[in-house]
Structure 1
Amino acid sequence: MKRKTKAHLGFELLAIFLVGFSSVLLCVEAESQDADVMLALKKSLNVPQSLGWSDPDPCNWNHVGCSRDRRITRIQVGHQGLTGTLPPNLQNLTALEVLELQYNNISGPLPSLSGLSSLREILLDDNLFESIPSDFFTGMSLLQNVDIDNNPFSDWEIPESLKDATELQSFSANSANIKGKIPDFFNQDVFSSLTSLHLAGNNLEGGLPASFGGMQIQSLWLNGQKSKLFGSIDVIQKMTSLQEVWLNLNNFSGPLPDFSGLKDLQNLSLRDNMLTGPVPASLLSLPSLKVVNLTNNMLQGPMPVFKAGVTVDMSKGSNRFCLPSPGDCDPRVNTLLSIVELMGYPQSFADSWNGNDPCQDWIGITCIDGNITVVNFQRMGLTGTISPAFASLPSLQRIILADNNLTGTIPEKLTSLPLLTELNVANNQLYGKVPTFRSNINLVTTGNKDIGKDKSSSPPSGAPSSGSSPTDTGGSSGTGGKKSTAHVGLIVLAVIGSVLAVCLIGFIAFCWFRMRQKRLSQVQSPNALVVHPRHSGSDNESMKITVAGSSVSVGAVSEAQTLPSSEAGDIQMVEAGNMVISIQVLRTVTDNFSEKNILGQGGFGTVYKEGKASIETRIAGTFGYLAPEYAVTGRVTTKVDVYSFGVILMELITGRKALDETQPEDSMHLVTWFRRMYINKDTFKKAIDPTIELNEETLASIHTVAELAGHCCAREPYQRPDMGHAVNVLSSLVELWKPSDQNSEDILYGIDLDMSLPQALKKWQAFEGRSQMESSSSSLLPSLDNTQTSIPTRPYGFADSFTSADGR
């Protein structure tokens, strides 16, 4: 080994000296720079003398800490009543580890702290800071705790720079004016040490990110968002370290998740959301649970019972539990909840399904004698799958699930329903083999492009959601033309079916009218005539008359039939649709177009109210009440007809007009008054027309019709049934609607009122030479095939063009 020469030793000593000297210079420079920053901080803040910041060496200041090499490592001046602002050069404190400025009145913008790689704790909460830069957290690789609560920042989003803080354990930014969605970088890969995430009282929107699943968060505060978080909370069942969850005051919806994996959960606040479905048993049995708040949701099923020692906030009436106290729900309720479970417990059902009796005005549910006969969930924006639990309702006759976004297959169990006559699942996203149903069941599966295939070719539609609006879906790209044609066909069929159903209901109404004795003729109907003058000053004045929404002319050869006018007894006939009404009848019902019967005048003509009229004219007027709705709305819709028909049923039950200005203001409108009276059995009985002889059987029928009327007059169109459903409900009652006696007036009207409606209709068909009913009639009145035949006369007051086919 070579011996080092004196020259070599000299060079090495010189190098060591230079390195050491430069280090000393750097330390002196850094120390001097830190001192400059601290002096700037002192200058920008209103520092009280009690802090002792008068010494020229910042390392001697109270609440300030330095390292051995005299670098500033800690500034801890919380709760000191400080005012002022922070200097922009604060990021030059490169050795800073702790910055505590909480509970002061410091204002202005926060300066960037980018590059402070030694910083472990930032406490800036409860100040008056006005903004925070997007690069504020850049390079803070050792950052563990952040608290910036309660600062009036301008709108800001949680920046990407926060991802640099991979050692983060606690991040609290309550009431800090954060906007946007919760970033998906809050996940286990980036923040494996994060145990506390508090973002309450901000402007966050959207849902809980799926990235939360698997995180070790113990305390999660997302309550009180001004923009409201929404969607499912299912992801929290994967956050098994949770001890405290506050999601209250948002718009979260859908069912509660499975809590069985959250063994350490102590505090759960979910109040003031839109959560649905039953409270799961997994929550009730949690051993660590101490506080739970479920008030103001739409939770269903039985009222939950928590174990002793749990503080529960669950105000009565603020949810949709079947009973006001703990207890088992009606089996029908349990079955319906099982059905909608696979649909995500939609909010529309939770909002309507109140109480423990599904036959009491539950949306989509129709009952006869307490048995559920129809489930109609058409066009309700449903997702999820069809539940085999339908098979637990043996009284079901019709299941209508058309025009939704349902996926999966048709359950085989549905074939076991003994009374099922119709299953309509059209226009969904179903696939798979169609089970074999009885041949007499009307099965509709059109609009499911993958029906019959093993798998669906459509992408998953996502988890069931109750927040979606009802849409007309089920088609796919490439079949739009067929779908459009199908929809046009459905609309046409709906209109035709509605009109035919109206005719049938009119006939039923006529039969009911005969039950109401002599005073019935005094009941006023809501008919109106619109008369359009064409010429004046002529003996045979020509006029245009609108009856039931149809425009016809009297005196115009092309539009009316005019008999010879040389004799006083001549009769002019006005043809309106399928009805022929004599001018003499119109003169009679308006008291010869008396001015006292004028309801109003306008550019469309003169509107007359009905004067005196015979029963047959009133029955004809029943059709006049429905048809104008098409013209009023300017578009084809069956739901307006249904509402009008509901009003007619209410008029028949009560003997009151749709609008009676002689009544007090709160009772003037029939529908509003009827709803209020129907709530209580005693008040409803008083509301029934006193001319109806009430017995137990009649009252039961009236209750059934009243329930149908309430459904028909539902506030939202999608909540109303179609006319086919109305016919289905009433057809079960017509066998009971027979007069107690036959008198001479019955012969006048040309109807054998000892017959039921199906029998009368069958005889009418036979009179017209028809041997069979058309296919559509069998689906509406399946019992007609079993009736006997003879020939009745056409009812007086019905036009020659009105045939039995119109009674479908």
Structure 2
Amino acid sequence: MLKLASALTPTPKGWSTTNTNGFCKWSGVNCDNSNNVISINLASQGLSGTLPSELSTLSQLQSLSLQDNKLIGPLPSLANLASLREVYMGTNNFTSIPIGFFKGLTSLQTLSMGANINLEPWAISTDLSESSSLNTFEASNANIFGTIPDMFASFPSLQNLRLSYNNLTGGLPPSFANSGIQNLWLNNQEMGLSGTIEVLPSMEQLSQVWLQKNQFTGPIPDFSKSKNLFDLQLRDNQFTGIFPVSLSSQAGLLNISFYNNKLQGPVPLFGKGVKVDNSGLNNFCVDTAGVACDPQVTTLLEIAGGFGYPVVLSDSWKGNEACSGWPFVTCDSLKKTVITVSLGKQHFGGIISPAFANLTALTTLKLNDNNLSGPIPDSLIKLSQLSILDVSNNNLTGKIPAFAPSVKLTITPGNPFLGSGGGSGSGGTSPSGSDSNSTTPGGVPNGRANGGKKVSPGVIAGVVGIVIVGAIGLFVLFKVYRKKKRGKSGRVNDQENGNGINPLVKNGSSCCTKGYGVLSEIQSQSSGNHSGRHFFEGGNIVISIEVQPRHVEREFRKIPSSTDDFCSGPHVLFLIPG
């Protein structure tokens, strides 16, 4: 305490720099029954000077209030002061924060250190996560840089987070989700926080949210679960999309700003008593609150919503007339109806919106070379004028709708999983000489056969492999067989009577009931003249084996010792001539 008294100018009233007798009675000092200092309150005393490192030896300190002074120099380490609950250091001229400053503050509930503009740039340390009882963290205008650490699951009691006027970058941490934060101030970052704010609707305790002057993007989410929200500041960002109707009618909302963004659609109409600041710029279709957009404009904005409302469409799709020079859109000769939408090679993510079906005169739709996922909407088959649909080079999945034969559907290259969910579109034959990646007018890619089913490269490779292995096996077995006397092997019944392989099944062998299929059936597939050509069937593969008509014998050579061994891997059974 003598060190602290000597470091401050002027010396606090009633303090001594030479005598520690009665320091528990110094102004602003409280002690416990053992004369351990538990609180120091020197707020707003006009003090200057530096804080001594010996403050860290006050092991029972619970509260330290030094805000609103002129203190300079480095902050002393408070590490491992396990009893410390409150720290108020704001509005001073401190110059640096030591490494480990936040470590071991296991009882900390309030940390306020804002308005220290002379601090060297510092990042929020994850050591603070040890303060599981933290209720308030206030460090606005304190020269913080870097990202907001993803550690908020460690603070179940946190209600107030104020980090305004710093140089924070990056997105909102996922651990904000479901937190109990009520007052969130992240406004006026030097470079700006970025990304979406989709995590905020899960924070149902929110009452005041200040996000102005950042670089947040994407649509404004639905805050309807935040029943206590009364103050929402969203101005000066990069928000896109349509302002949610649920927010404009949200009960309890008193104050909101959203100007200087890239919002589209109609201007939101708020109830009486809500203070609305919309004095700046946006990309609304009309100027009057509550007036709906033109139906075609509404449809195109819904389509943009499927892509996540990209900024390029917000900047270019302005006004209330889609046929008055909107890029990526072509209209008929009367400039009234959209007939072409060409959004290829725009690097869009998201999905293909079913709203395309509302453009009933659409003839051409190009969405190629993006990063779209999900299915091709079935609603597109309702477009009776559609003749060209190009969705190649995306990541689409699911069934291919059954488009009319007049539709030229291009789905490849790309989309390796498209069609995996079921049948393709309507049939058609490929133009002669066309590329293997082209499509038919009916939407069936070339390289298909047998009713439109694509021949798998794996099946082709499997057929070739089995033929080669079979040829080698036949040769080896034939050489071995020649060394044996004819007649050692018993004759089998006629292949066509159904008894050739059935004993293995009838005996209840598990190998034939586990779905392996190899031993399911070996039977004659003779032609009408009952020639000596027999077949081995395994799955969808059929291999013919020429045999002598009058001498057909079957040998199972090197059969495993148990049926389980037999079924543990692929085996090939041959019909042996002889």
Q: Per-residue CA shift, 1:287-342, capped at 9, x if unaligned?
A: 111100101001111100111111110115x0111101121110111111111112
Partner of 2:8: 45
The equivalences for 1:247-396 within 5 A come to 247-315=211-279, 318-326=281-289, 327-368=291-332, 369=334, 370-396=336-362
Distance 1:335 1:422 in 2: 20
Match of 2:195 in 1: 231
For residue 51 of structure 1, report the CA deviation from its aligned partner: 5.2
Hey, what does 1:448 align to over in structure 2? 415
| Mapping 1:581-620, distance limit 5 Å | none
Give how far 1:224 is off.
1.2
| Conserved 8 A contact 2:2-2:16 | no
Q: Does 1:211 align with 2:178?
A: no
Secondary structure of the residue aligned to 2:341 is strand
Equivalent positions of 1:396-407 (< 5 A) are 396-407=362-373
In the TM superposition, what are the counterparts of 1:54-65 in structure 2 within 5 Å?
56=20, 57-65=22-30
Q: Matched residue of 2:299: which SS?
A: helix
Q: Which amino acid aligns with 2:142?
A: A
- Where do residues 399-478 of structure 1 align in structure 2 (5 Å cutoff)? 399-446=365-412, 447-454=414-421
Query: Could you tell me how far 1:134 is from its partner in structure 2?
Result: 2.8
Letter in 1 for 2:161: L
Q: Quick one: higher RCO (CA 8 Å, sep 6+), 1 or 2?
A: 1
Contact 1:181/1:205 (CA < 8 Å) preserved in 2? yes
Whole-Å separation in 1 of the counterparts to 2:246 and 2:354 = 24
Aligned to 2:49: 84
State the alpha-carbon separation in 1 of the partners of residues 374 and 51 from structure 2: 61
Aligned partner of 2:120 in structure 1 is 154
Which residue in the other structure is 2:186 paired with?
Answer: 222
Counterpart residue type for residue 168 of structure 2 = L
Q: Find the aligned partners of 1:486 and 1:247 in 2 and give their Cα distance.
A: 48
CA–CA distance in 2 between the matches of 1:334 and 1:184? 38
Distance 2:194 2:329 in 1: 28
Which residue identity does 1:324 align to in structure 2?
Answer: D
**1:128 matched to which residue of 2?**
93
Q: Distance in 2 between matches of 1:142 and 1:80?
A: 27
- Tell me the distance in 1 between the aligned counterparts of 2:238 and 2:330: 26
Paired with 2:252 and 2:16, the residues of 1 have a C-alpha distance of: 49
Q: CA deviation at 1:52?
A: 4.6
Give the aligned residue type for 1:416.
Answer: K
Shift of 1:420: 1.0
Amino acid corresponding to residue 91 of structure 2 in structure 1: D
User: In the alignment, is the contact (CA less than 8 A) between 1:299 and 1:320 conserved in 2?
Assistant: yes
In 2: Cα distance, 1:69 partner to 1:313 partner:
57
| Matched position secondary structure for 2:395 | coil
The question of whether the paired residues in 2 share the 8 Å contact of 1:53 and 1:62 is answered with no
The separation in 1 between residues aligned to 2:126 and 2:192, in whole angstroms, is: 23
The aligned residue for residue 109 of structure 1 is 74
What SS does the aligned partner of 2:9 have? coil
Which has a greater percent of strand? 2
Give the unaligned 5+ runs of structure 2.
423-435, 439-578
Look up the equivalent residue of 2:318 and give its one-letter code.
N
State TM-score, norm by structure 1.
Answer: 0.51
TM-score (normalised: structure 2): 0.70
State the alpha-carbon separation in 1 of the partners of residues 12 and 204 from structure 2: 50
Residue 90 of structure 1 aligns to a residue in which SS? helix
Paired residues of 1:134 and 1:161 also in contact (CA < 8 A): no
Q: Which has the higher helix share?
A: 1
CA contact (8 A) 2:12 2:27 kept: no
User: 1:519-542: CA deviations, max 9, x gaps?
Assistant: xxxxxxxxxxxxxxxxxxxxxxxx
- Work out the number of aligned pairs and report it: 418
* Counterpart-to-counterpart distance in 1, 2:361 and 2:351: 22
**1:323 is matched by which residue type in structure 2?**
V
Amino acid of the structure 1 residue aligned with 2:402: T
Say which SS state the counterpart of residue 275 (structure 1) adopts: strand
SS in 1 for 2:373: coil
SS at match of 2:199: helix
Query: C-alpha separation between the residues in 1 aligned to 2:203 and 2:71?
Result: 37
Q: Is the 8 A contact 2:53 2:76 kept in 1?
A: yes
The corresponding residue for 2:499 is none
- Paired with 2:79 and 2:2, the residues of 1 have a C-alpha distance of 20
* 1:118 alignment counterpart: 83
Q: Secondary structure at the match of 1:315?
A: coil
* Residues 1:173 and 1:287: Cα distance change in structure 2 (over 3 Å): same
Residues 198, 220 of structure 1: 8 Å contact kept: yes
Q: Deviations over 1:50-82 (max 9, x none)?
A: 455466432121111111221111111011111
Q: Deviations over 1:98-157 (max 9, x none)?
A: 101101111111111111111110000011111112311222111100101011221221
Same amino acid, percent of matched pairs: 44
Q: Which amino acid aligns with 1:130?
A: T
- Partners of 1:218 and 1:205 lie apart in 2 by 22
Following superposition, the deviation at residue 163 of structure 1 comes to: 1.1
8 Å CA contact retained: 1:87, 1:111: yes
Letter in 2 for 1:60: K
**Structure 1 residues 556-575: aligned runs within 5 Å:** none
